[in-house]
Chain A
Amino acid sequence: MALEIRGISKAFGRFPALKNVSLQAHDKEFLALLGPSGSGKTTLLRVLAGLETPDAGEVNFGGEDFLSLPVRKRRVGMVFQHYALFRHMTVAQNIAFGLSVRPRAERPSKEAVKARVSELLSLVQLDGLEKRFPTQLSGGQRQRVALARALAIEPRMLLLDEPFGALDAQVRRELRRWLRELHDRAGVTTVFVTHDQEEALDLADRVAILKDGELKQLGRPNEVYENPADPFVYDFLGAACRMPGVVHGGRLTVADWETKAPVGAPDGAVEVFFRPDEVTFAPSDGAGLAAEVRAIAARGPDVRIECLIEGRIVELEAHGPTLPPGVAPGLSLRIKPLRPKVYAGAA
């Protein structure tokens, strides 16, 4: 079912956590809410779950006014950052909780609950752990129990708060793919919160980037990565190099390098952004930004090159083969950003 959020605002005391946020998620879409801590992404998720009441705005889900429904009537499956498993219940009891608290008339029989629990346990690949208590599980296992518990109520929407936040890097990557497959199989609209841009870009159908309670950009991963709406988004989505520049008459000038300005670039003083791995190197008498190599460090096939450009230290990345031979500390050369992005700003 499609989700539509319109003009949600929420303040905690004097601190505004969400400012007039509007966004939509399509039916069965996997939407990421991405932002640094304090950006309001978790608050927005809790508004969707019904755990926070917004000061203004509307939430419409599948044609229904969601805000008028109490938490327990929304039928959303929420996975909390620290899982919030019921510590005094076994894994099986945790998963069965949502079914066991249904009104007597709608409650499935004991056998049906048991069957559902083992079905869900095998879905999250935890067969045989029914009798364990949460403290006897690893972080990754707890996370999957939390997910199974949320899925047990056949949720109309899945809400995941930093689902991988408390896991180490390796488990994170494994679970990421698995979660995506699970989403595709379950076929429910999923909203997940993360501060990890790589995770969001890798996993989501679309990414909503928030900062200070405001929605900065909403789009497909490659869209937002290729065309960040503003310097914040550019910086947040990956490593960025920035230089002051000037745009005049369709030409961009950065230091002594002049090139064609990107389409739609504003005239006047601008900030020029480029990714440290999207550059080509040229000899010092060629075209590009004059740079002096300060240090080189090889990391497998990738090479990190620390350069001095216009009095600033800039870290560039190159793949071994694209690096011209003979690059060594002290060498002067020219750097040509392949796809500079230009934002109006102070020179």
Chain B
Amino acid sequence: MTTAAIAARPRRPSSLRRPGIAPVLILASIAVMAGLVILPLLTVFRDALAKGVPAYLAAIREPDARAAIRLTLIVAAISVPLNALFGVAAAWSVTKFEFKGKAALLTLIDLPFSISPVISGLVWVLLFGAQGWFGTWLADHDVKIIFALPGLVLATILVTLPFVARELIPLMQAQGSDEEAAALTLGASGFTTFWKITLPNIRWALLYGVLLCNARAMGEFGAVSVVSGHIRGQTTTLPLHVEVLYNDYDFVGAFAAASLLASLGLITLVLKTALEWRHSGELAAARKP
């Protein structure tokens, strides 16, 4: 090597920059990803199709499976909009107004993240179960919450409560309330201000939060498992259906149902990436610590 070439070469004090280290690290990361993420994912689809496409389709079309899919969609269809509504309302109140107990509200919003989902299910059993606080009253009035759709929805709502609010709060904090104030001084009503100013400003973060919320709502196992009662064809959602079939040694059925959930995850991931790619600036503001 000539002296000129040596001089031109930038000095790299870090030993990590030594040739050979970077490829090793990259390969190691890829290997870990392949072993822990991609391999299991492929296994799901392989085992689902182990007995051929007809068996796979039959497993999905089977009445209990269809009931599970329908129930999962219904639970998500109820809990995701409610949580989107709650998330927007919570983020709106926390970021645009000053009030007592704001810090407490912020902590409460995060609570479902920090407690085990089993507890999120158990609280509803303790409240509405046969032995629960309101159990007798509910039984007297013939209202079924636990081991029924309302219980599943309640458990799912509780678990997925933070997703939308968590996405919106940092973004709305960064945006401040000047634009809303400006709209008001220009003669807009509160509703118009929300509809024409606030909502367009948060739409991508809102969509992102709804997407995450939906993925979790459909995939939730722990909380739902506690309140479901596992009545086949009636109170088993897709994740529970997978477990039931697996325990029955019906592997094709279990993996077929699992493949639906995995596909849902993949679709969510693609949409999420697309969103991040198109609206990276806005979403970055939302994820600032």
CB pair B192–A101 under 8 Å, yes or no, is yes
CB pair B178–A82 under 8 Å, yes or no, is yes
Q: Which of B11-19, B64-72, B150-158, B193-201 is near enough to bind chain A? A: B193-201
Of residues 162 through 193 on chain B, the ones whose CB sits less than 8 Å from some CB of chain A are 178-179, 181-189, 192
Q: How far is the CB of A143 from chain B (nearest CB, A)?
A: 13
CB pair A153–B186 under 8 Å, yes or no, is yes
Q: Tell me how many residue pairs across A and B have CB atoms closer than 8 Å.
A: 63
Q: Which residue in A72, A88, A102, A149 is a CB contact (below 8 Å) of B184?
A: A72
CB pair A84–B182 under 8 Å, yes or no, is yes
- How many residues on chain B are close to A (CB under 8 Å)? 16
Q: How far is the CB of A334 from chain B (nearest CB, A)?
A: 55
| Chain A residues near B197 (CB-CB < 8 A) | 86
Q: Which of A15-23, A73-81, A268-276, A316-324 is near enough to bind chain B? A: A73-81
Closest Cβ neighbor of B183 among chain A residues: A97
CB pair B184–A51 under 8 Å, yes or no, is yes
- How many residues on chain A are close to B (CB under 8 Å)? 26
CB pair B179–A75 under 8 Å, yes or no, is no
| Chain A residues near B186 (CB-CB < 8 A) | 72, 97-98, 101, 149-150, 152-153
CB pair A87–B201 under 8 Å, yes or no, is yes
Q: Is A233 an interface residue (CB 8 A)?
A: no
Q: Mark A87-119, 1 if CB is under 8 A from B, else 0.
A: 110000000011001100000000000000000
Q: Mark A167-189, 1 if CB is under 8 A from B, else 0.
A: 00000000000000000000000
> If A84-B178, A88-B201 touch, does A98 touch B187 (CB 8 Å cutoff)?
yes
Complexed CA–CA distance, A98 and B196 (Å): 12
| Chain B residues near A73 (CB-CB < 8 A) | 187
Q: Which residue in A78, A86, A88 is a CB contact (below 8 Å) of B185?
A: A78
> If A88-B201, A101-B192 touch, does A78 touch B187 (CB 8 Å cutoff)?
no
Closest Cβ neighbor of B201 among chain A residues: A88
Q: How far is the CB of A42 from chain B (nearest CB, A)?
A: 12
Q: How far is the CB of A289 from chain B (nearest CB, A)?
A: 50
Closest Cβ neighbor of A81 among chain B residues: B178
Q: Is A49 an interface residue (CB 8 A)?
A: yes
Complexed CA–CA distance, A77 and B183 (Å): 11
Q: How far is the CB of B81 from chain A (nearest CB, A)?
A: 23
Complexed CA–CA distance, A72 and B196 (Å): 15
| Chain B residues near A98 (CB-CB < 8 A) | 186-187
Q: How far is the CB of B98 from chain A (nearest CB, A)?
A: 8
24 contacts between A and B (CB under 8 A): A49-B185, A51-B184, A51-B185, A71-B185, A72-B185, A72-B188, A72-B189, A74-B185, A76-B185, A78-B181, A84-B181, A85-B179, A85-B182, A86-B179, A97-B183, A97-B186, A98-B186, A98-B187, A101-B188, A101-B192, A149-B182, A150-B185, A150-B186, A153-B187
